[in-house]
Amino acid sequence: MTSSPNPAPSSTSSESGYQGHLTLGDGLLASRDHRPTHPSLLQVIFNKGSYNSHLISLRTFLPGDLVTSFAPHADLATARSYSTVQTGPWTHIELNSDLLYCNHSCDPNVAFHIGNAEDKESWKAKAIKKIDKGDTLTFFYPSTEWHMSQPFDCACGQEALCLGKIDGAHSIPLSTLKRYFINEHILKMKRQQIEKGASLDEQESKRQW
């Protein structure tokens, strides 16, 4: 998740030694000590500048295919940041893998499935469209994120579908979210938001990260 313009750094490096989330989107810095985590499946394309790197597929996937599991790399995060993925109302994980570079699109070809916030084996990336070798991999950030740690103006280039500013699912109508694969924790929070007004937003604004 590297589309954020001004991220807050994650607190620590991972036990696996993956450092990508500590480079604050600097592609050249991240490339220096990079060790691919899925060398037969995925490749990070590092580009000069901030948040210009991206992830490509090294093989073909059909809709419904498993691209990769998050395990064994992913682990619980101690704080929410630009690089974390939300797994429940108040829980987040660091991917600690090259999936970090799977950027946002309003017309994604991958879905991040969070089956159970407590079960690493249920965290998976799946193809939702045909993906050819060399295609850039993207997912819909609000499918996992209620609030973005750092909102940003989308540059996915999908004019007919682009939502513009990406600030998480809290600011997107349910009718729009229904166009996408959305994880259950986000759908539950959206239903609660509709029933109770802005209470969820107020709770999150008071929560310390």
Per-residue pLDDT of the chain (209 residues; tens, 9 = 90+): 645 433 333 334 445 567 655 555 566 777 888 899 999 999 999 988 777 899 999 999 999 999 999 999 999 998 899 899 999 999 999 999 999 999 999 999 999 999 988 899 999 999 999 999 999 999 999 999 999 999 999 999 888 899 999 999 999 999 999 999 999 999 999 999 999 876 555 555 555 44
Confirm if 113 and 182 have CB atoms less than 8 A apart. no
Does residue 166 lie in a domain region? yes
* Number of domains the chain contains: 1
Does residue 10 lie in a domain region? no
Does residue 120 lie in a domain region? yes
- What pLDDT score was predicted for residue 11? 37
Tell how strand 103-104 and strand 138-139 pair up: parallel
Residue 16, class by beta-carbon neighbours within 10 Å (0-12 exposed, 13-18 middle, 19+ buried)?
Answer: middle
Tell me, what CATH number does 120's domain have? Answer: 2.170.270.10
157: left (phi over 0), alpha (psi -120 to 50) or beta: left
Range of the domain at 164: 20-203
Does residue 14 lie in a domain region? no
Does residue 45 lie in a domain region? yes
Q: Which two tokens stand for residue 99?
A: 């999936």
Does residue 1 lie in a domain region? no
Does residue 146 lie in a domain region? yes
Dihedral sign (CA 153, 145, 136, 95): positive
Q: Which two tokens stand for residue 86?
A: 């939300």
Does residue 6 lie in a domain region? no
